[in-house]
Amino acid sequence: MTERRIKLLQVPPPLPPRWPMPLDESIRWVSPYEAEVDRLVEIFFTQHAYLRCMEHAASDLQHEIGGALVGQVLDDVLADARYVVIEDVIPAEHTEFSRVHLTFTQSTLVQLNNTLEDHYPDLQMVGWYHTHPRMSVFLSSYDAWLHRNFFREPWQVALVVEPYRGHGGFFPWQPDRHLDPRAYAGFYELADLQEESVVDWINLEPVQPEPVLAGETDFWEIEEYRP
Ligand SMILES: [Zn+2]
């Protein structure tokens, strides 16, 4: 009997909820490396979370700052795709930084997990973000180490923001635990606040046109993405 009980406890965790990807309510942003990133998840970033993240990122242009991305993990059965929806951010406390380096301490991870449990009981930590003021968008060897050790789930993503010029990009896990520290991906901007985009990163390109406003007669051509 004891053995049977132990076997019951080894049941794998439940699969993510099933829900179609909210493509109709989203604007797709692609990076120059889009075709190179064989991601395990598609990334939806709500406008609310994007603006909160950018507000935090712009609050210090001298040091690296960061935090957690919180949201949901879902499965689109028809598209055979897993995706995350980033709904909010939790700025990290107790970080240590020099001018070019951010370190999440043990206290940082405890604070992020406590805030998640207290304020977002239905959400998960779907990744983390940090800034690279006046640098490019990449993962340093320390960033990759941190991601490999604390964000191991295949649906957890790293976001790097360059707040000075307005660049940003995501680093998702790729098959066989591959993490490319240079080639970053874009995302789907989930229009939870307004139809018009709020994204101001200049290193990404929108795939779909801005929606035609009522009363406008201009004909909008669909921009095709060419790598
Ligand atoms: Zn970094």
| Residue 3 included in any domain | no
CA-to-CA distance for 27 and 17, rounded, in angstroms?
23
In a domain, 202, yes or no: yes
Which residues touch 202 (CB under 8 Å, ≥6 apart)? 165, 166, 167
Distance 80 CA to ligand 1 centre (A): 32
C-alpha 209 – ligand 1 centre gap (Å)? 32
Q: How far is the CA of 140 from the centre of ligand 1 (A)?
A: 5
Q: Check whether 226 has a pLDDT greater than 50.
A: no
170 within some domain: yes
pLDDT at 15: 85
Residue 7 in any domain: the answer is: no
For ligand 1, the distance from its centroid to the CA atom of residue 7, given in whole angstroms, is 41
Give the tens place of pLDDT for each residue, 90-139.
999 888 766 557 888 889 999 999 999 999 999 999 999 999 999 999 99
Whole-structure pTM value:
0.85
Would you state the structure tokens that stand for residue 92, as one six-digit string? 């990290």
Report the relative pairing of strands 102-103 and 157-162 from DSSP bridges. Answer: unpaired
Answer positive or negative: Cα dihedral of 52, 101, 202, 144. negative
Q: Are strands 167-172 and 157-162 parallel, antiparallel or unpaired?
A: antiparallel
In a domain, 191, yes or no: yes
**Is the per-residue pLDDT at 173 higher than 70?**
yes
Query: Residue 119 is part of a domain; what is its CATH number?
Result: 3.40.140.10
- The number of folded domains in the chain is 1
**Looking at per-residue confidence, does 79 or 99 come out higher?**
79
Summarised one tens digit per residue, pLDDT across range 53-75 is: 999 999 999 889 999 999 999 99
Tally of CB atoms within 10 A around 182? 12
Q: Give a yes or no: residue 70 inside a domain.
A: yes
At residue 215 the predicted structure's pLDDT band, cuts being 50, 70 and 90, is: low
What residue numbers bound the domain in which 200 lies?
36-206
